Amino acid sequence: QVQLVESGGGMVQAGGSLRLSCAASGSTFSKYAMGWFRQAPGKERQFVAGDTRSGISTYYADSVKGRFTISRDNAKNTVYLEMNSLKPEDTAVYYCAATIGVAVGTSPDYWGQGTRVTVSS
């Protein structure tokens, strides 16, 4: 099993940037594929970005392509989400997730508690 703790959320003006971090502990980090999801008030939780266990392949929701970048540092047991050109519609609670498989799917095995991102216009 693995425990996930997100950080880096906050308030930012539209067009600004934030970097979210997800620190993992409790197991071997390299065993897991990682991903980021988000949930806005009154909406379903949606996929944002994913990173395969190997770290070679990354994939993104259409709404964030070209603006967000997911990366991982196995030595630090940490996954990052770099968010640029933020828009008000990016406002949500962002969750880090991990799965024992090679790629994160619709139902990851583990979730963090979330970090709130608010983008003002």
Q: Could you say which DSSP state residue 13 is in?
A: E
CB 60 within 8 A of CB 51: no
Collapsed DSSP state (helix, strand, coil) of residue 89: helix
Task: Give residue-wise pLDDT tens across range 36-80.
Answer: 999 998 999 999 999 987 767 899 999 999 999 999 888 899 999
Is residue 86 scored above 80 in pLDDT? yes
Is residue 100 scored above 90 in pLDDT? no
Q: Strands, DSSP E only, in the chain?
A: 3-7, 10-13, 18-25, 33-39, 46-51, 58-60, 68-73, 78-83, 92-99, 110-111, 115-120
Task: Give residue-wise pLDDT tens across range 23-39.
Answer: 999 877 788 899 999 99
